[in-house]
């Protein structure tokens, strides 16, 4: 059974559900997931979201435990499969605010195919990738974003694969909103989350976070020394600039919104959704089905 | 009696359209029509054929004995002339070289060319065939209208009229009264059942022979408020269906065996997260790519045990078009009532066979939802945390069934969890809770078993030989029993399973001890139904009629194999 964290009393029955509550987590002390969860709650609260209209979707992994720790609707699915479930939930009920919180392994490895194709689908969801460049739940193997040379219990001679560049891949696939945050800058992170949620269409926010247990290379200090917020006058509508910026990942890592241009969403283009009413709220159309049957006579 | 037309040709010659037009014309003339498709997995060339059987009475099986061979190429003559019945004929273009005395050569290609469009040669053949069958051209215009572009309509009518005048009547068959019946394939009937159930979301990856379901739903998506999404793979398709179902709409996915393999993990997600799901597996021969456009019943043992771990599920095998419609409706209802995955097993034979059927019963009740779902509950349980506001997604109940809420409910949260979880849906590793949750899920089967439908008995319960079959072999078995009645009245009956997992055993246990011989009839190599029966009841079959060459047993074939094996003992 989950236990309530100590910040609020649970002894009475008068619990407000209009706020996003936190539950005791199973994350390591110092894990970036704590900050992401706090920022997520803040972003949703500041946007005035009712927890009952919010759906948090995750796959499997440490980051993917996020829906367990926040009072909102929760879908904890299979490893790598958060996106298909999330987009379908949004397709069926567009009145929901759908946020995917999952890790780099879940989002880019096991779920890589869904990542690519859901950018193309452009359903209006926000995808927050907790990117610590390592596998946490399975205890320290290389993830798709692990840097080359990273030595792990499996990559014993160092990771020989080229790290996946989620920013560049998303831009190449035509994503409308591509951003990067860092748990060491919570103010920026909350702002990025809010803009990703408000963005009409698929919004990718890759969040750099340290893994205190398994990634001894990309530590908080390491990230802190490299992250560089994009300047105020950065042009978010310039795709070429975004493509160029996305390739920078060395002693400098740009953070902020690399690209933001709205494109026709899935809902705007799907004929069956044209009238703008959520599928889940529409009445059964007996006469339409009757017409279909009559055509077969 | 019935007559049997075979239209043969290469892929790309339009035999599908020609057959569809002909089927409709025959039904308009009052006949019962049953058409099976034998296609190769290629877009051009090869050899394809369609068998159209029609007559004044119900037809439930194809037959390999043909009366009219419409040969659109030379190969069709070579391959099928030996199947011709006594008074049978071959209708072909004058350019096809054959000295078969039964051949009627007409100018199909040249007539079409003279009319200015080589593609209307099929209509010349249709016109000629109608005359050969002593039928008229009354319905030709309205039928062609549904199959050819309006710009080519007049030309096609002229072509049919010219074909009609080229020949004289040869055969005639009394008509029935089926004008107002439907013409549907198994795939279409299944999709209609989904429409009648108020399905709102269908995600799939195209895979023969299941794609027809997706195409049919997509065609009517806008009018019926259904989103049909082509997924990037079958893993996405089933996870999408689960995501949509979680929000409260009825959702479905469909595939064939290979795609089902990819769906397996998510089948377990449906089981543990208790998200209602309907999955259709339209079987084809495996393993691997197998025979993509052909038929088999070899996924039974796979789908009843697919996915790691243990969870309740139901498997329904579709037996004919009527069943496809009604059982799909039932699948949605049971999936929702028990919050379980329900697998519909069809196969290529049923999926692609079009048959005359009485218009399906369409009522609002099929679309009605579980009364207890997404309601406000009497809030009496003590609250344990901020997550607990009186509703528990996995509340332990006597029958294991917990009402659902949908995301967006003003008072409660909906939670789905693929990890083992407590009543609220929170991850847990408590041995006690694990035990309680496993028992909660598994005891849903106790109630589900009270809703099982017993197999259909064809023939007398006091038979000497009892045939045991399932799914699409019902039609051929029905014809086989009818054929056997003449020489062996009352001796051979068949029991055909629709509900197949959990296996309803009542009728089998009542009939089996009386029969001298039990023979399972299946389209697979290992006798999967027989082994399931043995496992569930201890009853063993004495022998089996198995076929796994990708082609369906016909009623006649069952009779001949049965005679060879049993009756002469």
Domain membership of residue B295 (yes or no) is: yes
Domain membership of residue B272 (yes or no) is: yes
Dihedral of CA atoms A276, A282, A286, A292 in degrees, nearest 10, equals: 40
Window A:78-97, CB contacts with B under 8 Å: 78, 81, 83-89, 91-93, 95-96
Which residue's structure tokens are 């309803």? B504
B385–A273: do the CB atoms touch at under 8 Å?
Answer: no
B387–A75: do the CB atoms touch at under 8 Å?
Answer: no
Residues B248 and B112 in one domain: no
Tokens of B170: 């040869």
Residues B362 and B384 in one domain: no
**Cβ atoms A280, A93 nearer than 8 A:** yes
Query: How many CA atoms does the CB half-sphere of B62 hold within 13 Å?
Result: 21
Size of interface A-B (CB pairs under 8 A): 224
Which residue's structure tokens are 């207890």? B372
At residue B386, the pLDDT reads 58
Residue A12: is its pLDDT beyond 60? Answer: no
* Residue in A67, A272, A280 nearest the CB of B222: A272
- A176: closest CA of chain B, how far (Å): 20
Return the CATH number at B472: 3.40.50.920
To probe the interface with B, which of A18, A41, A51, A76 has the most B CB atoms within 10 Å? A76
Domain membership of residue B173 (yes or no) is: no
* Residue numbers in B near A3 (CB within 8 A): 385
* Residue numbers in A near B223 (CB within 8 A): 285, 288, 291-292
Return the CATH number at B261: 3.40.50.970
What number of other Cβ atoms are within 10 A of residue A296's Cβ? 17
At residue A5, the pLDDT reads 40
Give the CA distances from residue B106 to residues A112, B170, B199, in Å, rounded to whole numbers and listed in that order. Answer: 58, 15, 49
Per-residue pLDDT tens over the stretch A56-101: 999 999 999 999 999 999 999 999 999 999 999 999 999 999 999 9
Q: Which residues pair with B213 in a beta bridge?
A: none
DSSP conformational letter for B498: S
Query: Domain map of chain A by residue range?
Result: 32-294
Residues B191 and B330 in one domain: yes
B415–A74: do the CB atoms touch at under 8 Å?
Answer: yes
Residues B152 and B71 in one domain: yes
Is the CA virtual torsion B559, B561, B566, B567 positive or negative?
positive
To probe the interface with B, which of A77, A117, A120 has the most B CB atoms within 10 Å? A77
B227–A279: do the CB atoms touch at under 8 Å?
Answer: yes
* Residue numbers in B near A67 (CB within 8 A): 415
Look at residues A198, A191, A181 and name the one whose alpha carbon lies nearest to residue A49.
Answer: A198
At residue B378, the pLDDT reads 62
B221–A272: do the CB atoms touch at under 8 Å?
Answer: yes
B220–A57: do the CB atoms touch at under 8 Å?
Answer: no
Number of domains in chain B: 4
A65–B359: do the CB atoms touch at under 8 Å?
Answer: no
B221–A91: do the CB atoms touch at under 8 Å?
Answer: no
Domain boundary pick from B106, B137, B165: B165
Cα–Cα distance for residue pair B146/A97, rounded to 1 Å: 44
With vertex at residue A206, the alpha carbon angle to CA A205 and CA A209, rounded to the nearest 5 degrees, is: 130
Q: Which residue of A has its CA nearest to B249?
A: A280
Cα–Cα distance for residue pair B464/B455, rounded to 1 Å: 18
Residues B361 and B380 in one domain: no
Q: Which residue of B has its CA nearest to A72?
A: B413
At residue A6, the pLDDT reads 38
* Residue in A73, A91, A271 nearest the CB of B222: A271
- A86: closest CA of chain B, how far (Å): 6
Residues B357 and B381 in one domain: no
B242–A1: do the CB atoms touch at under 8 Å?
Answer: no
Is the CA virtual torsion B210, B212, B218, B220 positive or negative?
negative
- B77: closest CA of chain A, how far (Å): 32
* Residue in A76, A92, A285 nearest the CB of B247: A92
- 3-state DSSP assignment of residue A121: helix
Close Cβ partners of B398 (under 8 Å, ≥ 6 residues apart): none
Structural domain boundaries, residue B143: 3-165
Tokens of A215: 């990634």
To probe the interface with A, which of B184, B190, B243 has the most A CB atoms within 10 Å? B243
Cα–Cα distance for residue pair B250/B327, rounded to 1 Å: 15
Domain membership of residue B170 (yes or no) is: no
Domain membership of residue B7 (yes or no) is: yes
- A1: closest CA of chain B, how far (Å): 6
A85–B246: do the CB atoms touch at under 8 Å?
Answer: yes
Look at residues A1, A14, A94, A112 and name the one whose alpha carbon lies nearest to residue A55.
Answer: A94
Look at residues B43, B53, B47, B62 and name the one whose alpha carbon lies nearest to residue B10.
Answer: B47
Dihedral of CA atoms A88, A91, A92, A98 in degrees, nearest 10, equals: 70
Average pLDDT over residues A247-251: 97
B240–A87: do the CB atoms touch at under 8 Å?
Answer: yes
CATH number of the A32-294 domain: 3.40.50.970
Write out chain B's pLDDT in tens, 569 residues.
899 999 999 988 889 999 999 999 999 999 999 999 998 888 888 899 999 999 999 999 999 999 999 999 999 999 999 999 989 999 999 999 999 999 999 999 999 999 999 999 999 999 999 999 999 999 999 999 999 999 999 999 999 999 999 999 999 999 999 999 999 999 999 999 999 999 999 999 999 999 999 999 999 999 999 999 999 999 999 999 999 999 999 999 999 999 999 999 999 999 999 999 999 999 999 999 999 999 999 999 999 999 999 999 999 999 999 999 999 999 999 999 999 999 999 999 999 999 999 999 999 999 999 989 998 876 556 566 656 667 899 999 999 999 999 999 998 999 999 999 999 999 999 999 999 999 999 999 999 999 999 999 999 999 999 999 999 999 999 999 999 999 899 999 999 999 999 999 999 999 999 999 999 999 999 999 999 999 999 999 999 999 999 999 999 999 999 987 655 44
* Residue in A71, A93, A113 nearest the CB of B408: A93
B225–A285: do the CB atoms touch at under 8 Å?
Answer: yes
Which residue's structure tokens are 């569930």? B536
**CA terminus-to-terminus distance, chain A:** 57
* Residue numbers in A near B183 (CB within 8 A): 296-297
Q: Is A52 on the interface with B (CB under 8 A)?
A: yes
- A291: closest CA of chain B, how far (Å): 9
Domain membership of residue B532 (yes or no) is: yes
Average pLDDT over residues A105-124: 98
- A23: closest CA of chain B, how far (Å): 8
Close Cβ partners of A245 (under 8 Å, ≥ 6 residues apart): A167, A230, A234, A254, A258
Return the CATH number at B45: 3.40.920.10
Cis amide leading into A295 (omega within 30): no
Look at residues B299, B277, B55, B314 and name the one whose alpha carbon lies nearest to residue B178.
Answer: B55
Cis amide leading into B65 (omega within 30): no
* Residue numbers in B near A4 (CB within 8 A): 385-386
Q: Tell how strand A227-229 and strand A253-260 pair up.
A: parallel
A84–B236: do the CB atoms touch at under 8 Å?
Answer: yes
At residue B44, the pLDDT reads 82
Domain boundary pick from B424, B451, B478: B451
Centroid of chain to Cα B132:
33
Look at residues A61, A217, A82, A209 and name the one whose alpha carbon lies nearest to residue A138.
Answer: A61
Residues B381 and B300 in one domain: no
Residues B83 and B13 in one domain: yes
Residues B270 and B136 in one domain: no
Domain membership of residue B291 (yes or no) is: yes
Residues B427 and B406 in one domain: yes
B416–A76: do the CB atoms touch at under 8 Å?
Answer: yes
* Residue numbers in B near A66 (CB within 8 A): none
A272–B408: do the CB atoms touch at under 8 Å?
Answer: no
Domain boundary pick from B320, B348, B367: B367
* Residue numbers in B near A65 (CB within 8 A): 427
Look at residues B106, B44, A253 and name the one whose alpha carbon lies nearest to residue A245.
Answer: A253
**Cβ atoms A102, A129 nearer than 8 A:** yes
Q: Which residues pair with B229 in a beta bridge?
A: B203
A1–B180: do the CB atoms touch at under 8 Å?
Answer: no
Q: Is A280 on the interface with B (CB under 8 A)?
A: yes
Close Cβ partners of A107 (under 8 Å, ≥ 6 residues apart): A59, A80, A82, A83, A100, A115, A127, A129, A166
With vertex at residue A153, the alpha carbon angle to CA A150 and CA A154, rounded to the nearest 5 degrees, is: 80
What number of other Cβ atoms are within 10 A of residue B548's Cβ? 16
Q: Is A75 on the interface with B (CB under 8 A)?
A: yes
Tokens of A274: 């044209």
pLDDT band at A178 (very low <50, low <70, confident <90, very high): very high
Residue A11: is its pLDDT beyond 70? Answer: no
Q: Is A65 on the interface with B (CB under 8 A)?
A: yes
Look at residues A92, A137, A100, A120 and name the one whose alpha carbon lies nearest to residue A201.
Answer: A120
Give the CA distances from residue B143 to residues A206, B229, B235, B533, in Å, rounded to whole numbers and listed in that order. Answer: 58, 32, 41, 47
What's the length of chain B?
Answer: 569
Residues B19 and B140 in one domain: yes
* CB-based contacts of A10-14 (< 8 A; 24+ apart in sequence): A10/B383, A10/B384, A10/B385, A10/B386, A13/B382, A13/B383
What number of other Cβ atoms are within 10 A of residue A241's Cβ? 15
Residues B63 and B97 in one domain: yes
Domain membership of residue B430 (yes or no) is: yes
B235–A81: do the CB atoms touch at under 8 Å?
Answer: yes
- A216: closest CA of chain B, how far (Å): 29
Q: Is A193 on the interface with B (CB under 8 A)?
A: no
Cα–Cα distance for residue pair B327/B194, rounded to 1 Å: 10
């Amino acid at each position: 059974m989950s236990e309530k964290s100590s910040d609020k009393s649970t002894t009475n029955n008068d619990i407000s559900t209009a706020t996003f509550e936190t539950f005791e987590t199973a994350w390591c002390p110092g894990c970036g997931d704590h900050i992401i969860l706090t920022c997520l709650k803040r972003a949703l609260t500041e946007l005035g979201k009712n927890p009952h209209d919010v759906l948090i979707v995750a796959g499997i992994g440490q980051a993917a435990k996020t829906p367990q720790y926040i009072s909102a609707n929760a879908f904890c699915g299979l490893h790598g499969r958060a996106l298909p479930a999330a987009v379908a939930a949004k397709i069926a009920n567009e009145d929901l605010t759908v946020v995917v919180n999952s890790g780099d392994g879940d989002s880019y490895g096991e779920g890589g195919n869904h990542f690519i194709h859901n950018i193309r689908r452009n359903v209006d969801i926000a995808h927050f990738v907790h990117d610590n460049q390592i596998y946490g739940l399975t205890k320290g193997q290389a993830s798709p974003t692990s840097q080359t040379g990273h030595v792990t219990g499996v990559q014993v001679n160092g990771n020989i694969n080229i790290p996946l560049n989620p920013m560049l891949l998303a831009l190449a696939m035509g994503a409308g909103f591509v951003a990067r945050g860092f748990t060491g800058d919570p103010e920026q992170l909350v702002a990025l989350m809010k803009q990703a949620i408000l963005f009409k269409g698929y919004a990718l926010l890759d969040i750099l976070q340290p893994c205190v247990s398994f990634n001894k290379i990309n530590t908080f200090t390491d990230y802190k020394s490299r992250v560089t917020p994009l300047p105020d006058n950065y042009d978010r509508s310039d795709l070429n600039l975004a493509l160029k910026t996305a390739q920078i990942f060395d002693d400098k890592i740009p953070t902020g919104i690399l690209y933001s241009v709205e494109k026709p969403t899935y809902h705007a283009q799907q004929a069956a959704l044209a009238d703008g009413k959520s599928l889940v709220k529409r009445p059964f159309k007996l006469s339409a089905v009757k017409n279909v049957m009559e055509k077969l006579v | 009696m019935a007559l049997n037309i075979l239209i043969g040709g290469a892929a790309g010659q339009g035999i599908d359209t020609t057959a569809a037009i002909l089927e409709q014309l025959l039904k308009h003339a009052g006949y019962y029509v049953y058409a099976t498709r034998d296609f190769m997995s290629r877009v051009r060339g090869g050899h394809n054929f369609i068998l159209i059987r029609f007559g004044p009475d119900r037809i439930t099986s194809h037959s390999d004995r043909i009366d009219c061979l419409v040969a659109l190429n030379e190969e069709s003559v070579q391959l099928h002339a030996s199947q011709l019945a006594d008074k049978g004929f071959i209708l072909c273009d004058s350019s096809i070289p054959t000295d078969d005395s039964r051949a009627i050569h007409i100018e199909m290609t040249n007539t079409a060319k003279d009319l200015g469009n080589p593609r209307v040669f099929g209509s010349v053949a249709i016109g000629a065939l109608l005359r050969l069958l002593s039928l008229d051209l009354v319905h030709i215009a309205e039928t062609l209208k549904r199959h050819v572009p309006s710009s080519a309509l007049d030309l096609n009518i002229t072509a049919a009229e010219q074909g009609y005048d080229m020949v004289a009547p040869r055969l005639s068959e009394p008509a029935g009264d089926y004008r107002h019946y439907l013409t549907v394939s198994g795939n279409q009937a299944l999709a209609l059942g989904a429409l009648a159930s108020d399905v709102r979301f269908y995600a799939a990856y195209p895979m023969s022979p299941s794609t027809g379901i997706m195409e049919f739903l997509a065609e009517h998506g806008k009018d019926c408020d259904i989103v049909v999404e082509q997924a990037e793979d079958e893993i996405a398709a089933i996870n999408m269906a689960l995501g949509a179902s979680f929000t409260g709409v009825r959702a479905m996915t469909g595939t064939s065996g290979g795609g089902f393999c990819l769906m397996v993990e998510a089948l377990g997600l449906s089981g543990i997260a208790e998200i209602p799901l309907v999955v259709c597996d339209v079987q084809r021969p495996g393993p691997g790519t197998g025979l993509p456009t052909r038929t088999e019943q070899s996924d039974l043992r796979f789908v009843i045990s697919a996915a790691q771990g243990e969870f309740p599920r139901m498997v329904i095998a579709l037996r004919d078009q009527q069943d496809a419609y009604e059982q799909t409706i039932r699948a949605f209802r049971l999936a929702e009532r028990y919050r379980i995955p329900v697998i519909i097993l069809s196969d290529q034979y049923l999926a692609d066979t079009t048959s005359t059927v009485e218009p399906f019963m369409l009522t609002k009740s099929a679309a009605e939802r579980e009364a207890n779902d997404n309601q406000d509950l009497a809030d009496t349980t003590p609250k344990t945390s901020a997550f607990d506001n009186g509703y528990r997604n996995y509340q332990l109940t006597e029958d294991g069934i917990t009402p659902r809420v949908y995301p967006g409910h003003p008072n409660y949260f909906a939670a789905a969890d693929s990890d083992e979880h407590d009543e609220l849906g929170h991850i847990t590793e408590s041995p006690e809770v694990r035990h309680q949750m496993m028992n909660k899920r598994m005891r849903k089967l106790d109630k589900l078993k009270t809703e099982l439908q017993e197999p259909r008995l064809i023939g007398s319960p006091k038979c000497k030989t009892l045939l045991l079959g399932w799914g699409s072999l019902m039609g051929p078995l029905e014809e086989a029993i009818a054929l056997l009645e003449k020489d062996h009245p009352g001796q051979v009956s068949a029991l055909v399973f629709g509900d197949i997992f959990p296996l309803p055993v009542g009728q089998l246990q009542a009939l089996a001890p009386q029969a001298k011989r039990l023979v399972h009839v299946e389209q697979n190599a290992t006798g999967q139904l027989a082994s399931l029966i043995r496992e569930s009841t201890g009853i063993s079959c004495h022998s089996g009629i198995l076929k796994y060459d990708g082609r369906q047993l016909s009623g006649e074939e069952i009779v001949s194999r049965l005679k060879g094996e049993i009756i002469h003992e």
